[in-house]
């Protein structure tokens, strides 16, 4: 691979940051959706009962989304990797 110019390196860095920002934004939206699902599943039905499997599934999804977001945000904070 030929060496890159300074301009090419900056372009690659900015492209990487832009892509990472979109990913972090999407993961943030996914996390919000999972948290909303958890809040709804914890809510009681008309008989005053909640479905334990639904609550556990929503809680698991929320935890996975939070971990994904934190992991990607940490990678982004450390800077682009080329």
Per residue in 3-17, pLDDT (tens digit) is 668 877 777 777 777
Cα gap 59→63, rounded to integer Å: 6
**H or E, element range at 51:** none
Burial label for 69, CB within 10 Å (0-12, 13-18, 19+), is: buried
Give residue 82's pLDDT: 45
Mean pLDDT of 60-77: 78
Helix segments in the chain, DSSP class H: 6-42, 52-77
CA 17 → CA 5, 10, 37, 73, 81, distances in Å? 18, 11, 30, 11, 10
- Which pTM value belongs to this model? 0.52
């Amino acid at each position: 691979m030929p060496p890159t110019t300074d301009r090419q390196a900056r372009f690659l860095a900015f492209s990487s940051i832009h892509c990472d920002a979109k990913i972090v934004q999407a993961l943030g939206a996914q996390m919000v959706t999972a948290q909303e699902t958890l809040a709804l599943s914890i809510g009681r039905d008309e008989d005053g009962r909640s479905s334990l499997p639904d609550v556990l599934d929503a809680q698991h999804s929320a935890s996975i989304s939070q971990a994904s977001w934190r992991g990607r945000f940490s990678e982004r904070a450390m800077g682009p990797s080329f």
